[in-house]
Chain A
Amino acid sequence: DIQMTQSPSSLSASVGDRVTITCRASQSISSYLNWYQQKPGKAPKLLIYAASSLQSGVPSRFSGSGSATDFTLTISSLQPEDFATYYCQQSYSTPYSFGQGTKLEIK
C-alpha cells in the first residue's frame, strides 16, 4: 500500500501570508495526487487534482506542484476563510490513501 506523509501537521500563519504544505508518497505516484480542504463538521472539498489542476470554482491563490513522490500545495495570500485542515490523497492505485492532514491556524 502507498503511504502518504504530510508536513507540517500544523501551521500558524497570518492573513496575507504565503503558505506551503508538503506531501510525500512512499513510492512514485506520477501526478495522481489530489488536495482537499476540510472545515470543522463539513465534508472535504476538492481543491487541486492531478497534482496541479485547479478544481473549478477554487480561488487562484491555491496552487499545486510536484510529481513522482514529492508534492506541494501553496496558498499565495491567506484569506480568513482558508483556515482549515488540508489533506493530500493519492489516486494512483487502490487502496487509496490520504495524508494525516495539516491544520492551518490563525497566528
Chain B
Amino acid sequence: QVTLRESGPALVKPTQTLTLTCTFSGFSLSTSGMCVSWIRQPPGKALEWLARIDWDDEKYYSTSLKTRLTISKDTSKNQVVLTMTNMDPVDTATYFCARMGVDSSGYLYFQHWGQGTLVTVSS
C-alpha cells in the first residue's frame, strides 16, 4: 500500500525559506521509473505543479518558480524534500506530494497523493 505524508511548518514569515518533507511508504524511490512531484493549491484556487524528482535524481521545476525551488531525496529515509526560498503571502497554499504512476505505454499520471499540508505566509 502506497502512502505519502507531507510535513513542515504551518506558518512562515515573508522572506523566509520553507522546507517541506514528503515521507512515503509502499515503494522505493531507488526503483527504476519512480518519481515524486510537489503540487500546491492556494485556497479556493487551482492546482499548480511545482517540481519533480526521479529515481535517478533527475529534477524538473516549474518555469515561474525554478529560481526559488530545490527538490531533493533521501532514499534511505524514504523522503523527498522541497525548499522554497523568499516566501511571500501569495505562496499561501496547501502543498501536496504525489507519486507518479506510469502505464505500459509510458503515460504518466499522479496516482497517489498525500493529504496535503497548509502553509500560511504571514508576518
What is A's interface to B at a CB cutoff of 8 Å? 1, 31-32, 34, 36, 38, 42-46, 49-50, 53, 55, 87, 89, 91, 94-101
Contacts and interface: CB of A to CB of B under 8 A. Distances in A.
A69 to B, nearest CB: 17
Given A87-B47, A98-B46, A36 B62 contact: no
B110 A44 contact: yes
Main secondary structure of the interface of A (DSSP, over half): loop
A42 B113 CA distance: 10
A91 B109 contact: yes
Interface string B92-117: 00001010110101011111011110
Contacts of B37: 96
A99 to B, nearest CB: 7
B54 to A, nearest CB: 11
Nearest to B111: A46
A100 B107 CA distance: 22
Contacts of B96: 43-44
B27 interface: no
Given A94-B52, A96-B37, A44 B47 contact: yes
B63 interface: yes
A52 B98 CA distance: 21
Contacts of A38: 47
Given A43-B115, A99-B46, 8 more contacts: A44-B96, A46-B101, A49-B101, A53-B107, A91-B100, A91-B109, A98-B47, A98-B49
Q: Which 8 A-B pairs have the closest CB atoms?
A: A43-B113, A50-B107, A49-B109, A94-B60, A96-B49, A91-B108, A98-B47, A34-B109
